[in-house]
Structure 1
Protein backbone atom coordinates (compact mmCIF):
# COMPACT_ATOMS: atom_id res chain seq x y z
CA UNK A 1 0.00 0.00 0.00
CA UNK A 2 2.94 2.33 0.56
CA UNK A 3 3.84 2.20 -3.13
CA UNK A 4 0.28 3.10 -4.10
CA UNK A 5 0.32 5.92 -1.55
CA UNK A 6 3.54 7.30 -3.03
CA UNK A 7 2.10 7.13 -6.55
CA UNK A 8 -1.13 8.89 -5.64
CA UNK A 9 0.35 11.56 -3.36
CA UNK A 10 1.81 13.91 -6.02
CA UNK A 11 -1.39 13.81 -8.04
CA UNK A 12 -3.71 14.49 -5.12
CA UNK A 13 -1.37 17.00 -3.49
CA UNK A 14 -1.04 19.20 -6.57
CA UNK A 15 -4.78 18.99 -7.19
CA UNK A 16 -5.72 20.10 -3.69
CA UNK A 17 -3.04 22.80 -3.59
CA UNK A 18 -4.26 24.12 -6.94
CA UNK A 19 -7.87 24.11 -5.78
CA UNK A 20 -6.85 26.06 -2.68
CA UNK A 21 -5.01 28.67 -4.73
CA UNK A 22 -7.94 29.07 -7.12
CA UNK A 23 -10.33 29.52 -4.19
CA UNK A 24 -8.12 32.16 -2.58
CA UNK A 25 -7.70 34.05 -5.85
CA UNK A 26 -11.45 33.88 -6.51
CA UNK A 27 -12.07 35.47 -3.11
CA UNK A 28 -9.89 38.39 -4.19
CA UNK A 29 -6.95 37.71 -1.89
CA UNK A 30 -3.96 38.46 -4.09
CA UNK A 31 -1.26 38.67 -1.43
CA UNK A 32 1.48 36.03 -1.36
CA UNK A 33 0.79 34.99 2.19
CA UNK A 34 -2.78 33.92 1.44
CA UNK A 35 -1.73 32.06 -1.69
CA UNK A 36 1.05 30.18 0.11
CA UNK A 37 -1.23 29.37 3.05
CA UNK A 38 -3.86 27.92 0.71
CA UNK A 39 -1.30 25.86 -1.19
CA UNK A 40 0.23 24.62 2.06
CA UNK A 41 -3.15 23.73 3.52
CA UNK A 42 -4.01 21.77 0.39
CA UNK A 43 -0.70 19.92 0.55
CA UNK A 44 -1.12 19.03 4.22
CA UNK A 45 -4.75 18.00 3.68
CA UNK A 46 -3.64 15.71 0.87
CA UNK A 47 -1.77 13.35 3.22
CA UNK A 48 -4.77 11.83 5.04
CA UNK A 49 -6.92 11.96 1.90
CA UNK A 50 -4.30 10.06 -0.08
CA UNK A 51 -3.98 7.48 2.68
CA UNK A 52 -7.76 6.98 2.67
CA UNK A 53 -7.91 6.71 -1.14
CA UNK A 54 -5.02 4.23 -1.21
CA UNK A 55 -6.76 2.06 1.39
CA UNK A 56 -10.01 2.14 -0.56
CA UNK A 57 -8.32 1.26 -3.84
CA UNK A 58 -6.28 -1.50 -2.23
CA UNK A 59 -9.38 -2.95 -0.59
CA UNK A 60 -11.35 -2.99 -3.84
Structure 2
Protein backbone atom coordinates (compact mmCIF):
# COMPACT_ATOMS: atom_id res chain seq x y z
CA UNK A 1 0.00 0.00 0.00
CA UNK A 2 3.10 2.20 0.01
CA UNK A 3 2.50 3.62 3.48
CA UNK A 4 5.52 5.18 5.11
CA UNK A 5 6.22 4.60 8.80
CA UNK A 6 4.72 5.91 10.97
CA UNK A 7 1.24 5.98 9.47
CA UNK A 8 -2.07 6.89 11.04
CA UNK A 9 -5.12 4.71 11.35
CA UNK A 10 -6.98 6.89 8.85
CA UNK A 11 -4.17 6.46 6.29
CA UNK A 12 -4.30 2.69 6.78
CA UNK A 13 -8.09 2.69 6.38
CA UNK A 14 -7.90 4.74 3.18
CA UNK A 15 -5.23 2.41 1.78
CA UNK A 16 -7.25 -0.71 2.55
CA UNK A 17 -10.43 0.77 1.09
CA UNK A 18 -8.56 1.74 -2.09
CA UNK A 19 -7.16 -1.80 -2.46
CA UNK A 20 -10.58 -3.43 -1.89
CA UNK A 21 -12.26 -1.07 -4.35
CA UNK A 22 -9.67 -1.84 -7.01
CA UNK A 23 -9.97 -5.60 -6.43
CA UNK A 24 -13.77 -5.67 -6.64
CA UNK A 25 -13.83 -3.53 -9.79
CA UNK A 26 -11.32 -5.92 -11.40
CA UNK A 27 -13.86 -8.76 -11.02
CA UNK A 28 -15.74 -7.41 -14.01
CA UNK A 29 -17.99 -4.77 -15.39
CA UNK A 30 -20.98 -6.23 -13.57
CA UNK A 31 -19.92 -4.35 -10.43
CA UNK A 32 -20.80 -0.69 -10.08
CA UNK A 33 -19.12 1.45 -7.44
CA UNK A 34 -21.63 3.70 -5.66
CA UNK A 35 -19.58 5.37 -2.95
CA UNK A 36 -17.39 5.39 0.15
CA UNK A 37 -18.74 6.12 3.63
CA UNK A 38 -22.22 5.79 2.15
CA UNK A 39 -24.86 6.87 4.67
CA UNK A 40 -27.96 4.72 5.16
CA UNK A 41 -30.75 5.22 7.65
CA UNK A 42 -32.48 2.35 9.42
CA UNK A 43 -35.32 3.60 11.55
CA UNK A 44 -33.94 6.55 13.48
CA UNK A 45 -30.31 5.38 13.29
CA UNK A 46 -27.62 6.39 10.80
CA UNK A 47 -25.06 3.87 9.55
CA UNK A 48 -22.11 4.36 7.20
CA UNK A 49 -20.96 1.70 4.74
CA UNK A 50 -17.22 1.74 3.98
CA UNK A 51 -17.83 0.75 0.35
CA UNK A 52 -21.07 0.30 -1.55
CA UNK A 53 -21.18 -1.69 -4.78
CA UNK A 54 -24.05 -3.03 -6.84
CA UNK A 55 -23.80 -6.23 -8.83
CA UNK A 56 -25.95 -6.19 -11.94
TM-score, normalised on structure 1?
0.39
Greater RCO, CA 8 A, separation 6+? 1
Greater fraction of residues in helix: 1
TM-score, normalised on structure 2?
0.41
Greater fraction of residues in strand: 2
